[in-house]
Amino acid sequence: MTEHLHIEGLGVEFNGFKAVNDLNLSVAQGELRCLIGPNGAGKTTTLDLICGKTRPMHGSIRYRGREIARLPEFQIARAGIGRKFQVPSVFRQLTVRENLEVAHCKHISVYTNILRSGRSAESDGLEKLAAFVDLSDYFEAPASVLSHGQTQWLEIALLLAQDSELILLDEPAAGMTHQETQKTADICNRLKGKHTIIVVEHDMGFVRQIAQVVSVMHQGTLLMEGTVEEISRDQRVREVYLGSTLGI
Amino acid sequence: MFDSSAHANPTRNRNRLQLALYLAFCVAIFAVPLFIDDDFLLNRYARYLVLGMVAMALSLSWGYAGILNLGQALSFGLGSYAMAMTLKLKTVPIHTGPDGLPDFMVWNNVETLPWFWVPYQSTAFAIFAGVAVPWALAAILGWFMFRGRITGVFVAIITLAILVVANLLVIDQQRYTGGFNGITDLAQLEILGLEFDAYSKSTYFLVASCLSVCLLGALAITRSKAGLIFQAIRDQEERVRFFGYDVAAYKIMAMSISAAIAGLAGMLYTVVMEFASPTFMDVPLSLSIVIWCAVGGRQSLLGATIGAIVVAGMQGALSESETFLDTWMLVMGLIFVLVVLFLPNGLAGLLDMAGRRLMRRPGALAGGPAPAKGLSGQKAKDQT
């Protein structure tokens, strides 16, 4: 497997607090990597750094061999990195189809887009995407009528519409019912191999269902990497999680 | 809520219905002179249409792209002054002789025509400038604001502050702008041999044509991919950025198009009113535009247009009627409060809800007579 994302010596501080500190991480093409760790370990910050929401102070992020650490976020997005945020953020007043239309866009210039129809000819592909996350029945419905779980799935569909090769999912199963979590895991499993995916998640049950390799973060740095079994056996990981109820 | 049988085409049907409504409105405004032969009334209606146009422009930036531009009257005023300047220069040979100056400059002891007045001797340049100057100003302002990621209420405050500054500047520079009096006593606009007398059908048709073209053009923009992205930016600006769009470029575009339309409306206003005044670029007018937009429905171009026409029309009617001579401001305020409380999407929202109600129950149409409009409106209100 070829290396897709390579992070080296990455660090950022907020008012002296080292949120991410000398982080090294390498993710292969088509891999589904889970990023876990106790609260404040710097998982979400790591995603912020990759997608350009936060500027790193040290280190490098290489995506397909290209340094992206200091590019503006829209250029990082165009390079093929898609991000789902912790708080669901879809366009609630637009329909599911329109949401996908916004995400699916080869042309990003305002000058060409003002001359192009809002309804692209590739509606078929978009309908398939909606079907992929089981939202066919809501294709023409405004996103505001979707449930919490459906909103999360729409977000995943948006990343696929965007044609992201590297997908960053921040807590995709947060606040979901058991069935919804199951369905989300199913969606993630179907994406394995086609896209490189990094999932930040607290729910160990969910991680068990999807994970190949798990990276554990602690105090802004990488603690260890391994399969779910290796990690649950590891003494250091147990210490870090001591007192928390993650059920490792 | 959304049955699967209806999900295939409702958007397309809605779009067709929307286009039909817009076209019907355009036909209706062109038909008005057929029924009204009173030039005074036509002039007044032309004025309302111009106000509708500037409200429509705000709907494009506020309702669609989420940019609350409280300085909309600045674009309007710049257009208005551009037209007034060229029309004023046309009167120079008659008022002060072939080598003279506009009369107010003579009274203010100005001796040569200021450099920025010179190009306005050409009407074509003035018409170009009336659109291009507001457009460029909005683009520059937008560049600073949106590149700096200024959003929400701060955009409103900055645009309002700039409007105030511009207004004071125009009043202060009496020698070049006519100050408080504005620029009065203008010639008639003449384009390609056509004369536009403010009190004639020709001016009314000029205004109606410009409004129709802008309305349909703006509708096309809202239906373009960029229009979709404007709305996405309004809903979740940050998210759009992470789809790889340069959000600032889109916002600058929305704001500058809106300003250009407002500039055109301002030019027409000078033609209709036969003068330009600092009140065409003051804060009360700018706030009125926001109110028209809110009453009509800021997320509907046609709604905002009609909102302006209805509210400005009511203002005119109430302030002139004997009964409401002292209280018309209160009545207007009350209407505004009621709309904001019960119709967050304005008159257009009311129509939308009624329409959805009818569409959702096709049986209701076939079964019995359609519910009276007032009744469905009442129900719609209850829903909110």
3-state secondary structure of B196: strand
Note whether B149 contacts A: Cβ–Cβ < 8 A. no
**H-type helices in B36-110, by residue range?**
39-58, 72-96, 103-107
In a domain, B242, yes or no: yes
Task: Note down the domain range covering B39.
Answer: 34-282
* Overall average pLDDT of the A102-127 stretch: 78
DSSP assignment of chain A, as one string?
A: --EEEEEEEEEEEETTEEEEEEEEEEEETT-EEEEE-STTSSHHHHHHHHHTSS--SEEEEEETTEE-TTS-HHHHHHTTEEEE-SS----TTSBHHHHHHHH--S---HHHHTTSBSS-TTHHHHHHHHHHTT-GGGTTSBGGGS-HHHHHHHHHHHHHHTT-SEEEEESTTTT--HHHHHHHHHHHHHHBTTBEEEEE-S-HHHHHHH-SEEEEEETTEEEEEE-HHHHHH-HHHHHHHTT-----
Query: d(Cα B36, Cα B203) in Å, to the nearest integer?
Result: 14
In a domain, B117, yes or no: yes
In degrees, rounded to 5, the angle at the alpha carbon of residue B250 between the alpha carbons of residues B249 and B254 is 120
In a domain, B214, yes or no: yes
Q: State phi, psi for A81 to the nearest 5 degrees.
A: -110, 120
Å between B164 CA and nearest CA of chain A: 31
> What ipTM does this complex have?
0.84
In a domain, B193, yes or no: yes
Q: Domain segments of chain A: what residues?
A: 3-86+150-241
User: H or E stretch including B369?
Assistant: none
* DSSP summary character for residue B192: T
Query: d(Cα B123, Cα B114) in Å, to the nearest integer?
Result: 17
Q: Which CATH architecture has domain A3-86+150-241?
A: 3-Layer(aba) Sandwich (3.40)
Q: Do A102 and B249 touch (CB under 8 A)?
A: no
In a domain, B23, yes or no: no
Q: Pick from A77, A101, A141: which is nearest to B2 by CB?
A: A141
Note whether B5 contacts A: Cβ–Cβ < 8 A. no
Note whether B19 contacts A: Cβ–Cβ < 8 A. no
Å between B241 CA and nearest CA of chain A: 6
β-strand pairing of A58-63 with A166-170: unpaired
Query: d(Cα B27, Cα B215) in Å, to the nearest integer?
Result: 12
pLDDT in tens, chain B (384 residues): 444 444 446 677 888 888 999 999 999 999 998 898 888 999 999 999 999 999 999 999 999 999 999 999 999 999 999 999 999 999 888 888 888 888 889 888 888 899 999 999 999 999 999 999 999 999 999 999 999 999 889 999 999 999 999 999 999 999 899 889 999 888 888 888 888 888 888 999 999 999 999 999 999 999 999 999 999 999 989 889 888 888 999 999 999 999 999 999 999 999 999 999 999 999 989 998 998 999 998 899 999 999 999 999 988 888 887 777 777 778 878 888 888 888 888 888 888 888 777 766 554 443 333 333 333 333 333 333
What is the residue type of A44?
T
Q: What does the block give as tokens for B19?
A: 């286009």
Q: How many domains does chain B have?
A: 1
Query: d(Cα B267, Cα B132) in Å, to the nearest integer?
Result: 12
Q: Do A78 and B244 touch (CB under 8 A)?
A: yes
Tell me which of B3, B239, B247, B258 to substitute to probe the interface with A (most A C-beta atoms closer than 10 Å): B239
